[in-house]
Amino acid sequence: MRWVILALLLALAGGPVSAATGGRVIKVLPQFLDLKGRESLSPSLFDRDAYQSQLRHHPTERSGLQFKIQWKAQAAPTQDLKLRVEFRGVARGELPKTGAIDTVVRRKHWYSHWTGVKIDETTYREFGEITAWRVSLWDGGKLLSEQKSFLW
């Protein structure tokens, strides 16, 4: 009876990791960085959210933007995957500015990973306000998963 329950739990949880490639972007947290490169003043999530609200309302206190991305992949541990962050800015003229940052990531274990992708200060100042973003997980040329903002 125990083996039946264990097999059922493994089947519901996705079973053991196989060599088949699959993955998904679970969560994306865009976070402003202050003039010292911090997203928060303390480790508290409440303080982080309050500080992000302050940075959102005071653009002169910002120095950049980072995307904290939670992702999960079922692939061989030696296989390189790529996270791509694409972003759009305020339209000046006919088309909005666009940009993209690619980051190679590695799956180290079977549960989810967090990866930070930063837009540095010079790029952030030249680009201006970011109005929309899309984060995608790629295996070579194959799109595994994506998450995008409402305005994308």
pLDDT confidence of residue 15: 45
pLDDT confidence of residue 136: 95
Domain spans of the chain? 26-33+65-148
> Which of the four CATH numbers 1.10.287, 1.10.3470, 2.60.40, 2.30.110 does domain 26-33+65-148 have?
2.60.40
Matching residue, tokens 């998904």: 24
**Residue 146 in contact with residue 100, Cβ under 8 Å?**
no
**For the chain, which residues score pLDDT lower than 50?**
15-19
Query: What is the DSSP code string of 83-120?
Result: EEEEEEEEESSSSEEEEEEEEEEE--SSS-EEEEEEE-
* 3-class secondary structure, 83: strand
